[in-house]
Chain A
């Protein structure tokens, strides 16, 4: 079983739609959680951290459920520019980041 699992998609949604991605992790000692965004043939870049209380950054909302060991990312009012692969990332303290395989989002006009 992979340490971090994501639905690979693709999620094809129209502009303006709301879309949600989930990610599950197996290491109960995981302490820090992130969503990274990766555009085609580019390097991953931090989208947002995920806090226990949930957090929001504009159209993006991230939530963490420690009991069920999953994190989620909600994107409201999708834009064409949101088309990318979204990587779920977890780490236990100062250990290396563990990446999910990514969920591909395609926003269509």
Chain B
């Protein structure tokens, strides 16, 4: 049982580049979400989805897009990377009782 997987684990981008962070879960959870974690800021919600075809904005959505074409996958797209997007990104999948996190993607934008 893989749980929540994320790729890549590490990424360095230049300002203005775009990229997609991949997230997949094999628990058949409807609810998935993306967070970013910065020192002293805790986890902040970027976007979330309550099921295939349904997404919504969280606390800090600017500069990011998401889509949910299947229950399993929930990719996060950075449209034009900025240094302020340097962070650790966690994807999460939520069941009835517990929210499971992926191992994270450490992103640096130069």
Contacts and interface: CB of A to CB of B under 8 A. Distances in A.
Contacts of B43: 44, 87, 99
Contacts of B44: 99
| Range, interface on chain A | 10 to 19
Interface string A24-62: 000000000000000001111110010000000000000
Interface string A7-21: 010000000000000
A31 to B, nearest CB: 14
Given A94-B31, A96-B58, A42 B103 contact: yes
Interface string B80-104: 0000000000100010011101111
Interface string B57-76: 01000000000000000000
Nearest to B43: A99
A89 to B, nearest CB: 8
For A4, A87, A99, A100, which residue has the most chain B Cβ atoms within 10 angstroms? A99
Nearest to A85: B42
Q: Majority SS of interface residues in chain B? A: strand
B33 to A, nearest CB: 6
B53 interface: no
Q: 10 smallest A-B Cβ distances: which pairs?
A: A101-B42, A43-B101, A99-B43, A99-B42, A46-B98, A96-B45, A96-B48, A44-B101, A43-B103, A43-B104
Interface of B: 31, 33, 35, 40-45, 48, 50, 58, 90, 94, 97-99, 101-104
14 contacts: A42-B103, A43-B90, A43-B104, A46-B98, A46-B99, A49-B97, A87-B42, A87-B43, A94-B50, A96-B48, A97-B45, A99-B44, A100-B42, A102-B42
Interface of A: 4, 8, 41-46, 49, 87, 94, 96-102
